[in-house]
Amino acid sequence: MALPLLLFLELLIYGAGFICGIVTAALVTVTQGEFGSQCVLYGVAKWNDTVKSLGVSQFGSVSLCGFISAVSVCIAIYCFCTVFYFIYVSCIEGTSRGLRWLTACLVTSGVCLFLLLVSGCLLRVGLDTFCRSILTEPGIKSCSGAERMNWTSPYNGSTFYQNFTSAETSTWVNFIFWMAVLVLLIVQQRRVDDFRPMMGADTEWSTAVSGIMSESKPLIPSGPRQ
């Protein structure tokens, strides 16, 4: 059975959101591994004159990177499960969604947008904080240039800036995708609401029935009583 156009577009966006979530989680996790499973977001870098290398004097909370990775993975899993479910259902039965289901999807989309917004801000502000501490050291003119410097063992900062900026870009792209999902869900919800059949409790239904009853006449007129 063919998928409705709006649902098909929604599933395509979920597929793209799955890729963005996996990319973000992978880049953040890899960068943590290069710094001994620590998180440099909101951290402080320090130049070591003794060994002529750049190190980290203070790390940020590990839970910050963990939160970003967890959000990205959870959203990726949700996207994958949604795409898989509708592909499976379309092969065996209809794919129509009721008003309550669409409302639940809208709430989920709102939660995902909020979490992605928080993740994007943490990446942007956290990396800026770490970069400001790097730029205070003599001889370092850019944060990306610090990747080419020697780092104190066992830390490896050769790709930290590129990884975090790519993770941030992926997060904001995913945020835009979910904005599009929210719009598609609102359009589908309005369509379902417009075509919702009238129930007995609806005012329009009661008014229509009352009008029909008042205008109807008996087919066989009753004769005078004896």
Q: CA 190, 172, 29 angle in degrees (round to 5)?
A: 125
User: Is the pLDDT reported for residue 223 higher than 70?
Assistant: no
The tens digit of pLDDT for each residue in 153-165 reads: 889 999 999 999 9
Is residue 72 within a helix (H) or strand (E), and if so which, with residue range?
helix 62-92
Which two three-digit tokens encode residue 114?
A: 């909020």
| pLDDT value at residue 69 | 96
The tens digit of pLDDT for each residue in 129-149 reads: 999 999 987 778 889 888 888
| pLDDT value at residue 226 | 43
Rounded to two decimals, the pTM is 0.81
Which two three-digit tokens encode residue 101?
A: 């289901």
The tens digit of pLDDT for each residue in 39-96 reads: 999 999 988 888 788 989 999 999 999 999 999 999 999 999 999 988 888 777 666 6
Q: Any idea which of 11-15, 26-30, 83-87 has the lowest mean pLDDT?
A: 83-87
Alpha-carbon gap, residue 206 to 212, rounded angstroms:
10
Alpha-carbon gap, residue 159 to 210, rounded angstroms:
74
More confident residue, 182 or 52: 182
